[in-house]
């Protein structure tokens, strides 16, 4: 039983990392209607910035996190301005390919700046909470708490604030929103800024849980988080959270009780089954398109 | 529109830079009367610590030999293969175009297997400093190893544990998508069974799942393991040590030569590696004069303590040198002729190097020397 609880906890820890990455994915998709495949790489940049702040400048963890948030937010806005804004009128496929290009660009830039050798990341919150035979790493508690807070704040922000209203308007109909006097470009840039700030937080938490850092650190978690977002219903913020946690738990349980080599295949098999039954994901809105 | 052009130019520029970065490797001095020795290894990428160690170790040996001023002068050129088999074959061809006469490399097993077939077909003498898979030399009469083989490491680790810690409850975590890790695990498990050792838990991972080990560690802890055998590379091992500490699991950790490098991993808290045991033929703390000279020279040039890979490469260059000298080779000979001469020499010579005394080679290419276990204390290797 303790074993099962420990597996469950490692699943939830893993899931909370997926969830926090998925929140950024799903927010950008929900509002700008584009899949930002470079999200995972912005996370990697966040990891490197905080690593350098701690390792070379000896800053405390929280200050390093704030620095990472600032750098990633600026990076997110710059990427959006240089790579995505010129393609606002282009087809979704062009934007998708550009996002993949940006992803590779960031990975290679990181190789040039920080080198390709792996760095060992020191967790911003080491240690664990022991309850009987069950141990819960503090970093997992922090990740889950951060996830819940971000989810609630983001939902409130989008539903209550003026800018949130503008975001929802852009999401529904960009043309109509512009006619109503909403500055669509600025709203979308703002969405990227928030998404990238979330990526920085995710980067610090990801690297603290899984303590290595290299230029491709963001890619696999990025893909998994994208899966989590689709699983929960892409565009839905609570869906990203639910999808992330479920994905983490399924992965851990598959590793523990079925096969550690097949864990990834099992995760994606579950995704396929869910999408067959609910094409819009667990909490997604299914909007039939008229042709 | 203008802005977009500027951006395009910037992107193009960055791409050119990354391309240029790809074709590194400096040209050695190309004296006419020097033997051209090629080195291949991952100078960038995940395994860059190994490749650079090999490059630096070989460079020190070459400089020492050239400083002797004898008939045999060596020119060295290193090529990057990012530890990928296909890139490694390209690097081999680049070196051949340069006029390479002897190959010291590649550094990693997968690359060595790929390049060994080429070298065998071309009749190029190949001596890998650190490629440890048995498949590298199998069936190739002109391919030799300096480090001990994977089967040898697995067997030696099991022997060492059965002699020194016979009552251990052993857990193994290994990477089942690389030859290196799988190979050592197989021979370890076979030898452990032979010696009556108890393996209580086995966990696997792949390159895609190499970040979260909490499930494997929980299983090992639940099975009551007190010794964790890690036949894997140091990057993953560093994550395992971190996560084991986070969950309050403190077994004795036993690694093999892939663990070598963990102490120089940037940002790694070396106190986590305290008490880790590993098999390595080289200890920078050894008292003998040869090791001390090598270590101080290496520290002076490159600012760090050399690892086993640097010592393997240093030995490899000296083995080639001894062979060339004994066979009376001259630098104007073709690489095919040099290959035949060296094959004859290496199978009959006995070599004393940094990585072992009385090293001998069988005709199949395997080296015979005893692996040695060291334990990490205060951030360095000491003999247990």
**Structure-block tokens of residue A231:** 């699983």
Tell me which residue of A202, A258, A178 sits closest to A42, measured CA to CA.
Answer: A202
Summarised one tens digit per residue, pLDDT across range A42-76 is 999 999 999 999 888 888 888 999 999 999 999 99
Asked if B265 and B207 sit in the same domain, the reply is yes
pLDDT given at position B19: 46
| Coil, helix or strand at residue B72 | coil
How far is the alpha carbon of B139 from chain A, nearest alpha carbon, in Å?
31
- Chain B contact probe: residue of A79, A260, A265 with most B CBs at under 10 A: A260
Count up the domains in chain B and report the number. 2
Asked if B106 and B136 sit in the same domain, the reply is yes
Which tops the pLDDT comparison, A285 or B13?
A: A285
**What average pLDDT does the structure give for chain A?**
87
Asked if B97 and B127 sit in the same domain, the reply is yes
**Structure-block tokens of residue A204:** 């610090």
Q: Is residue B165 in a domain?
A: yes
Does A119 reach chain B within 8 Å, measured CB to CB?
A: yes
Q: Which residues, in sequence order, are CB contacts of B204 under 8 Å at separation 6+?
A: A260, A261, B173, B174, B175, B176, B216
Contact B45 A116 (CB under 8 A): yes
Does B16 reach chain A within 8 Å, measured CB to CB?
A: no
Asked if B162 and B275 sit in the same domain, the reply is yes
How far is the alpha carbon of A197 from chain B, nearest alpha carbon, in Å?
23
List CB contacts (< 8 A) between B1 and chain A. Answer: none
Q: β-strands B252-255, B227-230: how paired?
A: parallel
How far is the alpha carbon of B187 from chain A, nearest alpha carbon, in Å?
20
List CB contacts (< 8 A) between B7 and chain A. Answer: 82
Tell me which residue of B129, B192, B202, B199 sits closest to B156, measured CA to CA.
Answer: B192
Summarised one tens digit per residue, pLDDT across range B304-342 is 889 889 999 999 999 999 999 999 999 999 999 999 999
Does B250 reach chain A within 8 Å, measured CB to CB?
A: no
Does A163 reach chain B within 8 Å, measured CB to CB?
A: no
CATH number at B75 reads 3.40.50.2300
How far is the alpha carbon of B262 from chain A, nearest alpha carbon, in Å?
10
Choose from A209-218, A263-272, B111-120 the range with maximum mean pLDDT. B111-120
Asked if B67 and B143 sit in the same domain, the reply is yes
Asked if B171 and B253 sit in the same domain, the reply is yes
Asked if B130 and B172 sit in the same domain, the reply is no
Element (H, E) at B375: strand B373-377
Q: Is residue B14 in a domain?
A: no
Asked if B62 and B103 sit in the same domain, the reply is yes
Domain end, chosen from B229, B260, B280, is at B280
Q: Rounded to two decimals, what is the model's pTM?
A: 0.75
Which tops the pLDDT comparison, A290 or A258?
A: A258
Q: Token pair 């020492």 is at which residue?
A: B64
Asked if B269 and B310 sit in the same domain, the reply is no
Summarised one tens digit per residue, pLDDT across range A160-191 is 999 899 988 988 888 898 898 889 888 989 99
pLDDT given at position B299: 92
Asked if B193 and B275 sit in the same domain, the reply is yes
* Chain B contacts in chain A segment 48-107 (CB below 8 A): 51, 55, 82, 86, 105
Q: Is residue B67 in a domain?
A: yes
Provide the domain limits for residue B273: 151-280
Summarised one tens digit per residue, pLDDT across range B174-201 is 998 888 898 899 999 999 999 999 999 9
Asked if B132 and B219 sit in the same domain, the reply is no
CA end-to-end span of chain B, whole Å?
A: 69
Tell me which residue of B57, B137, B155 sits closest to B367, measured CA to CA.
Answer: B137
On whether the CB atoms of residues A170 and A182 are closer than 8 A, the answer is: yes
pLDDT given at position B188: 93
Asked if B44 and B141 sit in the same domain, the reply is yes
Lowest mean pLDDT among A179-193, B17-31, B144-158, B188-202: B17-31
Does B21 reach chain A within 8 Å, measured CB to CB?
A: yes
């Amino acid at each position: 039983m303790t074993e099962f609880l420990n597996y469950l906890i490692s699943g939830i820890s893993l899931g909370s990392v997926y969830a926090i990455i998925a929140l950024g994915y799903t927010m950008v998709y929900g509002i700008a209607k584009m899949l930002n495949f470079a999200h995972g790489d912005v996370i990697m940049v966040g990891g490197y910035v905080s690593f350098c702040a701690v390792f070379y400048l000896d800053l405390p963890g929280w200050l390093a996190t704030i620095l990472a948030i600032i750098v990633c937010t600026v990076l997110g806005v710059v990427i959006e301005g240089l790579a995505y804004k010129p393609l606002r009128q282009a087809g979704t496929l062009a934007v998708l390919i550009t996002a993949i290009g940006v992803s590779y660009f960031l990975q290679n830039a990181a190789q040039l700046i920080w080198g390709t050798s792996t760095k060992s990341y020191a967790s911003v919150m080491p240690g664990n909470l022991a309850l009987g035979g069950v141990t819960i790493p503090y970093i997992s508690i922090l990740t889950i708490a951060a996830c819940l807070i971000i989810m609630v704040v983001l939902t409130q922000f989008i539903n209550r604030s003026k800018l949130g209203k503008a975001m929802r308007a852009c999401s529904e109909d960009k043309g109509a929103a512009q006619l109503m006097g909403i500055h669509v470009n600025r709203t979308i840039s703002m969405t990227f800024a928030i998404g990238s700030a979330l990526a920085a937080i995710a980067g610090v938490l990801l690297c603290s849980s899984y303590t290595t850092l290299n230029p491709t650190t963001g890619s696999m978690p990025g893909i998994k988080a994208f899966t989590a977002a689709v699983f929960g219903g892409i565009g839905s913020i609570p869906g990203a959270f639910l999808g992330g946690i479920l994905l983490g738990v399924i992965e851990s349980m598959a590793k523990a009780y079925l096969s550690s080599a097949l864990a990834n295949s099992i995760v994606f098999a579950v995704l396929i089954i869910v999408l067959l039954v609910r094409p819009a994901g667990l909490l997604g809105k299914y909007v039939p398109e008229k042709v | 529109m203008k802005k977009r052009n500027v951006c395009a130019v910037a992107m193009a520029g960055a791409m050119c830079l990354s391309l240029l970065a790809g074709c590194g490797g400096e040209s050695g001095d190309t004296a006419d009367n020097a033997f051209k020795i090629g080195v291949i290894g991952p100078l960038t990428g995940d395994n860059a610590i190994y490749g650079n160690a090999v490059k630096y170790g070989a460079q020190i040996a070459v400089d020492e030999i050239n400083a002797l001023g004898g008939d045999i002068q060596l020119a060295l050129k290193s090529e990057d293969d990012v530890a990928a088999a296909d890139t490694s074959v390209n690097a081999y061809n680049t070196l051949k175009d340069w006029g390479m006469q002897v190959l010291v490399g590649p550094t990693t097993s997968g690359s060595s297997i790929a390049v060994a077939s080429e070298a065998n077909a071309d009749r190029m003498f190949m001596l890998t400093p650190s490629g440890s898979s048995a498949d590298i030399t199998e069936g190739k009469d002109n391919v030799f190893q300096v480090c001990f083989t994977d089967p040898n490491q697995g067997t030696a680790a099991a022997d060492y544990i059965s002699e020194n810690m016979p009552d251990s409850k052993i857990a193994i975590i290994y990477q089942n998508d690389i030859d290196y890790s799988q190979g050592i695990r197989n021979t370890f498990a076979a030898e452990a069974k032979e010696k009556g050792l108890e393996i209580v838990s086995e966990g696997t991972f792949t390159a895609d799942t190499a970040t979260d080990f909490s499930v494997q560690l929980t299983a090992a802890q639940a099975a009551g393991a007190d010794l964790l055998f890690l036949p894997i590379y140091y990057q993953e091992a560093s994550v395992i040590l971190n996560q084991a500490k986070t969950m309050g699991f403190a077994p004795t950790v036993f690694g093999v030569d892939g663990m070598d490098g963990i102490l120089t991993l940037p940002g790694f808290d070396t106190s986590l590696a305290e008490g880790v045991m590993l098999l390595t033929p080289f200890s920078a703390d050894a008292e003998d004069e040869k090791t001390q000279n090598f270590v101080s020279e290496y520290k002076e040039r490159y600012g760090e303590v050399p690892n086993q890979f640097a010592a393997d490469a240093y030995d490899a260059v000296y083995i080639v040198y001894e062979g060339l000298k004994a066979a009376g080779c001259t630098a104007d000979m073709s690489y095919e002729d040099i290959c035949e001469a060296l094959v004859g020499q290496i199978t009959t010579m006995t070599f004393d190097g940094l990585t072992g005394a009385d090293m001998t080679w069988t005709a199949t290419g395997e080296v015979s020397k005893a692996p040695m276990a060291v334990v990490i204390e205060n951030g360095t290797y000491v003999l247990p």
